[in-house]
Amino acid sequence: MVPDNSLTIRQKAIAAWPSAWQGQNQRDILTTMGIDIDNGFIPKYIVSEDKIRVVKELKSLAKKAQEVWLATDEDREGEAISWHLCEELGLDPATTKRIVFHEITKPAIQKAVQSPRTVNMDLVNAQQARRVLDRIVGFEISPVLWRKLSGKSLSAGRVQSVAVKLIVEREREINKFNTESSYKVEALFAAQDINNRAVTFKAEGKKIKQLAAADTFLQKCIGATYTVDNVEVKPGKKTPSAPFTTSTLQQEASRKLGYSVSRTMRVAQTLYENGYITYMRTDSVNLSETALHNAEDAIKQQWGANYHKRRQYQTKNQSAQEAHEAIRPTNMMVSQIDFPDGQKLYDLIWKRTIASQMSDAVTEKTIATINISTQPDNQLTASGEVIKFDGFLKVYLEGKDEEDEDDQEGLLPPLQRGQALPLVQMQAIERFTRPAPRYTEASLVKKLEELGIGRPSTYAPTISTVQQRNYAEKANKDGLNRHYQVLTLKNDQIAQKQETEITGAEKNKMFPTDLGMVVTDFLTEHFPDIMNYSFTAHIETEFDEIAAGKKKWNQMIGNFYIPFHSKVNDTLENAERAVGERILGTDPVSGKNVIARLGRFGPMVQIGSSDDENEKPEFASLKRDQSIETINLEQALDLFKLPFNLEDYEGKEVMVGIGRFGPYVKWGEAFISVPKNIDPLTIDIHKAIEIIKEKQVADAPIGTYKGIPVTKGTGRFGPFIKYNDLYINVPRAYNFEQLSQKDIEELVGKKLEKEANRFIQQWPEEKIAIENGRWGPFIRFGKEMLKLGRKADGNKYEADDLAGVSLEAVKQMIISINPQAFEKKAKKAATKKTATKKTAAKKTAAPKKTAVKKTVPKK
């Protein structure tokens, strides 16, 4: 097959060898521990279920080929994939040709082909050591959490746990922070600019601690004259930042584009695969000679030679992996690409790379000091900056995590020593100290990198995992109104005024959950090494030593495992259960303790304890914006006022309550979420009716599908439309606020088609179904998704094989996977016969266990 010449290199490769183009590992460690602890920590690998067909086809291709070349990604994970392929395809890693390239372009691939090497087993061992160590930590600590905190969804990880610890520590730092106020003196003077036009400029004085002292300062300025004491002009320059690494790209995409870390990597992966940029997982700032020449040509052609300055940046990170390049465009001459999903990120990468090879921006800074005639010991300072030559600023200016209002400097008018300055007004404005900001996803990556924790390939998965596990959440926080004082001196009169500002508003910041805090405290107490930043960074250094051939991987694992395993056993045996309990005080009615703690369904408060013989404790869930660590007694007691009943509305009972997903108004059988800005305790019948009516308007049909109304709403997972009992997510490609009838028909039609193909058979009363999944058919039993084994011939089940299977046969399959599946049901009355939705009947073979292959890299 000859691919079309209009296709990209990647598209041609997929067209010519569809099975060979696989960007993921074909093998995984067993879903159980999968590591032979007693024999050198050798992992037991199996081919992933979803890759069995691919491996089979690769083996067929390998047999037909005269020679097999490996061209997986250039990092350690890519090297490990090459070794896995050697193992599965029966190739000798010591002789099989292995090539690497930083970009999917014709010159890069041709150059790689001219200098092949073999699989680097040191890199393979470094990657394997990481996987084995992380598997050991996860599989040994997670059961401890299940037993000591309860909850099978809990897990721990070497990198994820310290990432959560950073978020928790920052939150506690913010909670403990005591805001202090001071007064900033700002004077506004009149002058003339170079064109003799009347202008004003600002000068500042020293900060003053107290309101009384600020008032005294202004009093002394009444009737004063102001003269320029000195004018100093300093030349300066601004230097461009280095080209992007993985972490700096994630940070800048977050600041400038609002991208999450995972979205940045997803888009960058697509740009790389389509030949637009170099490999996107790197901690190097180095640019190749070809790239440097390419950038020089682009800059000189567009802006002239005076805008170019060749720079070769040095990687500060001592543990930077291998001889990688920074993330850059493959062709510097291309500033725009015909690729809508990736254009914004590509533009960022292109500008950053081009700017890194441009001249410094030349600035001139002017600093003027101003005397106050009535206060010789106090001076005012005015500063301004002008750009004399823009240099790299013509293309790019790096963003900031937190903008500082004091950083803004304007241009000063011409000033001379001894010049008298008319005062327009002077103010003393109350300002407040601020705690360190909460992390964004990107600034958390930056902190992990600074501490030497994790590597480019682990940042995005780590950030995703801590959120999936409900240890932290990315959220917005509404600001609060705060009063501040302003003293104004104008026309020799002083006026005091109270102003209001909004403070504390945050967007897309990382907040720890109560669960994250409790788990962090438990792990810090019982596994201090795992939670120690230096220890975690030291482990990364040891991986680097393995990659450099300076250390044996299983010896490194052994040194870690012996004391770690002993600590796991000790914790299982001796540690107390952890619920993050806080005694808030005493209930004035019952005299019992009021306790905040973590419960089965999340953070909660209770009055009394389970030890009380006469009465059971009362429970109440915390509100969305409340935390175990910060809730006080008064707030806790308020929660027990919920639920409460209001008057009936239109013949239906109205009640206000709080549940797992926050406060709600219940009207008849309908539950309506209370908006975030409304305190449920303040809701009366009038407010409740308002909330009900808003919901009715929101739930009003926006269209129909085959005569049946379609409504819309926004849930936990984003915007959706509802047709019958079917909830259909609305992708970003649609304008959710203005869905047309055509949009509705398209969305519902696609969903119905998908649902029709979803079920092979269903037994709704038994809560059992056989469904088509992404990786093939599976059994859904209640909330569980059960993976099917293999048929007697070793092949996977297809939909046709399962279309005629009886309910009893499916139950036997469930029992073979989960022997206790029907134990509770056995105590009840005999199961009724239920009708099934099925097609033609076919016999099925008993599931066959997957064979396990035990392998270890050759040394």
Interval 328-355 mean pLDDT: 93
Q: What does the pLDDT read at residue 361?
A: 95
Question: Domain for residue 663, yes or no?
Answer: yes
The question of whether 723 is a catalytic residue gets the answer no
Q: What DSSP assignment string belongs to 64-108?
A: H-S--EE---SSHHHHHHHHHHHHHHT--TTTSEE---SS-SHHH
Domain end point (choices 660, 680, 699): 699
DSSP annotation of 203 reads E
Judged against a pLDDT cut of 60, whether residue 11 lies above it is answered with no
Three-class DSSP labels, 639-668: HCCCCEEEEEECCEEEEEEEECCEEEEEEC
Q: What does the pLDDT read at residue 199?
A: 93
Question: Domain for residue 716, yes or no?
Answer: no
Q: What does the pLDDT read at residue 9?
A: 53
Are 115 and 20 part of one and the same domain?
yes
Phi, psi of 808 (to 5 degrees): -65, -40
Judged against a pLDDT cut of 60, whether residue 356 lies above it is answered with yes
Judged against a pLDDT cut of 80, whether residue 293 lies above it is answered with yes
Task: Please state which of the ranges 144-148, 316-320, 611-615 shows the lowest mean pLDDT.
Answer: 316-320
Question: Domain for residue 436, yes or no?
Answer: no
Contact yes or no for 653/645 (Cβ under 8 A): yes
Judged against a pLDDT cut of 60, whether residue 467 lies above it is answered with yes
Q: What does the pLDDT read at residue 219?
A: 97
Q: Residues 60-114: pLDDT tens digits?
A: 888 888 999 999 888 888 899 999 999 989 999 999 999 988 888 888 888 889 9
Task: Please state which of the ranges 391-405, 435-449, 502-516 shows the lowest mean pLDDT.
Answer: 391-405
Considering the chain, what is the average pLDDT of its residues?
A: 86
Q: What does the pLDDT read at residue 7?
A: 43
Structural domain of residue 668, as residue ranges? 644-699
Are 259 and 316 part of one and the same domain?
yes
CATH number of the domain enclosing 353: 1.10.290.10
Q: Residues 388-429: pLDDT tens digits?
A: 999 999 999 877 666 555 545 678 999 999 999 999 999 999
319 pLDDT band, cuts 50/70/90, is low
152 pLDDT band, cuts 50/70/90, is low
pTM of the full predicted structure? Answer: 0.78
371 pLDDT band, cuts 50/70/90, is very high
Q: Residues 494-507: pLDDT tens digits?
A: 999 999 999 999 99
- Rounded Cα distance, 615 and 594, in Å: 14
Are 112 and 135 part of one and the same domain?
no
Question: Domain for residue 753, yes or no?
Answer: no
Cβ count within 10 A of residue 850: 14
Q: Residues 756-779: pLDDT tens digits?
A: 778 888 888 888 999 888 777 899
- Rounded Cα distance, 219 and 224, in Å: 10
55 pLDDT band, cuts 50/70/90, is confident
Number of domains in the chain: 6
Q: What does the pLDDT read at residue 776?
A: 79
- Rounded Cα distance, 457 and 72, in Å: 15
Judged against a pLDDT cut of 70, whether residue 135 lies above it is answered with yes
Interval 565-577 mean pLDDT: 93
276 pLDDT band, cuts 50/70/90, is very high
Residues 6+ apart with CB under 8 A from 462: 157, 159, 160, 163, 448, 454
Contact yes or no for 800/846 (Cβ under 8 A): no
Return the amino acid letter for 86: C
Q: Residues 699-731: pLDDT tens digits?
A: 889 899 988 999 988 877 789 999 887 889 998
β partners of residue 372:
226
Are 590 and 567 part of one and the same domain?
no
Q: What does the pLDDT read at residue 404?
A: 54
Range from 9-13, 136-140, 240-244 that averages highest in pLDDT: 240-244
Q: What DSSP assignment string belongs to 236-275?
A: EEE-PPPPB-HHHHHHHHHHHH---HHHHHHHHHHHHHTT
Q: What does the pLDDT read at residue 402?
A: 62
Q: Residues 16-37: pLDDT tens digits?
A: 444 454 545 556 665 556 788 9
Return the amino acid letter for 665: V
Q: What does the pLDDT read at residue 824?
A: 59
Domain end point (choices 313, 330, 359): 359
- Rounded Cα distance, 398 and 394, in Å: 12
Are 93 and 167 part of one and the same domain?
no
Are 31 and 86 part of one and the same domain?
yes
Q: Is 389 left (phi over 0), alpha (psi -120 to 50) or beta?
A: beta
Q: Residues 213-222: pLDDT tens digits?
A: 999 999 999 9
Cβ count within 10 A of residue 318: 8
Q: What DSSP assignment string belongs to 355-423?
A: HHTBPPEEEEEEEEEEEETT-TT-EEEEEEEEEEE-GGGGT-----SS--GGG---PPPP--TT-B--E
Are 25 and 103 part of one and the same domain?
yes
Q: What does the pLDDT read at residue 726?
A: 86
β partners of residue 234:
365
Question: Domain for residue 416, yes or no?
Answer: no
323 pLDDT band, cuts 50/70/90, is low
Are 557 and 605 part of one and the same domain?
no
Are 147 and 113 part of one and the same domain?
no
Question: Domain for residue 71, yes or no?
Answer: yes
Phi, psi of 837 (to 5 degrees): -95, 110
Q: What does the pLDDT read at residue 834?
A: 40
CATH number of the domain enclosing 541: 1.10.460.10
Interval 638-648 mean pLDDT: 92
Are 40 and 98 part of one and the same domain?
yes
Token pair 């805001």 is found at 179
- b/e burial code for range 670-684 (CB count within 10 A of at least 16 → b): eebbbeeeeebeebe
Are 109 and 52 part of one and the same domain?
yes
Cβ count within 10 A of residue 474: 16
Interval 563-584 mean pLDDT: 92
What percent of the chain has pLDDT above 70?
A: 89
Angstrom distances, CA of residue 276 to CA of 96, 100, 101, 266, 295: 29, 17, 14, 14, 15
Q: Is 533 left (phi over 0), alpha (psi -120 to 50) or beta?
A: alpha
Question: Domain for residue 497, yes or no?
Answer: no
β partners of residue 482:
501
Question: Domain for residue 692, yes or no?
Answer: yes
Range from 549-553, 796-800, 821-825, 829-833 that averages highest in pLDDT: 549-553
DSSP annotation of 550 reads S
585 pLDDT band, cuts 50/70/90, is very high
Judged against a pLDDT cut of 70, whether residue 827 lies above it is answered with no
Q: What angle do CA 494, 497, 503 make, to 5 degrees?
A: 135
Domain end point (choices 343, 359, 375): 359
Helix (H) or strand (E) holding 853: strand 853-854
Are 628 and 680 part of one and the same domain?
no
Contact yes or no for 420/239 (Cβ under 8 A): no
Catalytic residue among 272, 279, 307, 561: 279
